[in-house]
Amino acid sequence: MTQDELKRAVGQAAADYVAAHAPQGAVLGVGTGSTANCFIDAIAPFKDRFRGAVSSSEASTVRLRSHGFAVLDLNDVNEIPVYVDGADEVNDRLHMVKGGGGALTREKIVAAVASTFVCIADASKLVPVMGKFPLPVEVIPMARAYVARELTKLGGEPRLREGFVTDNGNVILDVHGLSIDDPVGLEARINQIVGVVTNGLFAARGADLLLLGTPGGVVQHL
Ligand code: 5RP
């Protein structure tokens, strides 16, 4: 199977999971990226069962609306039973590196509200130690150089994502060369740097369920 076929398979598996587990009238949390797009397309036939969705990016909002989903403001929503999103890397404790698409901050906010985080990924994303994929850090533009110096002190090599502005009007530093042995500690440490909005480690609040697309089928990891 190609990587795209694996992404479609996990998108469909997540839609089946949500259709079976989310209560009638619930609000869905929806992530960002090519795998999340597969989920949006697969859940679209069930849309009338839900009040709507909270989206983690402008791009996902456009796709949800194209399918007729109501996209709700998170401030008008108290509960999100399930949040479905992809990852750039995931380990066997269901910690993740996210933000390859630059939507990490809104993703982390929606994930914080959600009761259950379902991560969907093709098998290439499961790694023993995260860090090979450069860690995205969203930064207030005026703090870019300062934050880059602080990230260098942590052993990484930050590079500005050229020509990219987040949905929140900020910049992204992609941190190369990290070997992330302590995801929870590093997530907290980077978030303490003044000027950092958030970083792409989802470890303090990792996933609750991983649906992993493998050539042999979709495998569940809890
Ligand atoms: C976007 C993300 C995505 O979930 C992550 O980049 C994975 O994307 P894809 O499914 O396209 O591989 O965090 O900010």
Per-residue model confidence as pLDDT tens digits over 3-39: 999 999 999 999 999 999 999 999 999 999 999 999 9
217: alpha, beta or left? (left if phi > 0; alpha if psi -120 to 50) = left
pLDDT at 144 over 90: yes
pLDDT at 1 over 90: no
Is any atom of ligand 1 closer than 6 Å to the C-beta of 131? no
Span from the CA of 206 to the centroid of ligand 1 (angstroms): 15
Whether residue 107 lies in the annotated active site:
yes
Q: What domains does the chain contain, in order, with CATH numbers?
A: 3-127+204-221 (3.40.50.1360), 135-200 (3.30.70.260)
Q: Which residue has the tokens 């791009």?
A: 59
Per-residue model confidence as pLDDT tens digits over 147-186: 999 999 999 999 999 999 999 999 999 999 998 999 999 9
Return the closest-CA partner of residue 28 out of 4, 66, 64: 64
Span from the CA of 104 to the centroid of ligand 1 (angstroms): 9
Is any atom of ligand 1 closer than 6 Å to the C-beta of 121? no
Return the closest-CA partner of residue 25 out of 1, 48, 57: 48
Is any atom of ligand 1 closer than 6 Å to the C-beta of 156? no
3-state secondary structure of 53: strand
State residue 92's pLDDT score. 96
Is any atom of ligand 1 closer than 6 Å to the C-beta of 33? yes
Is any atom of ligand 1 closer than 6 Å to the C-beta of 3? no
Span from the CA of 35 to the centroid of ligand 1 (angstroms): 7
The catalytic residue among 5, 89, 107, 162 is: 107
Span from the CA of 155 to the centroid of ligand 1 (angstroms): 24
Per-residue model confidence as pLDDT tens digits over 38-85: 999 999 999 999 999 999 999 999 999 999 999 999 999 999 999 999
Mutation choice for ligand 1 from 2, 7, 8, 35, CB with most ligand atoms inside 8 A: 35
Label residue 103 by pLDDT band (50, 70, 90).
Answer: very high
Helix (H) or strand (E) holding 161: none
Return the closest-CA partner of residue 211 out of 118, 87, 83, 97: 118
Is any atom of ligand 1 closer than 6 Å to the C-beta of 102? yes
Q: Which residue lies with its CA nearest to atom 8 of ligand 1?
A: 33
Q: Which residue lies with its CA nearest to atom 4 of ligand 1?
A: 86
State residue 222's pLDDT score. 85
Q: What is the mean pLDDT of the chain?
A: 97
Return the closest-CA partner of residue 36 out of 67, 79, 78: 67
- For residues 161-170, one letter each, b for 16 or more C-beta atoms within 10 angstroms of the residue's C-beta and e for the rest, the string is beeeebbeeb
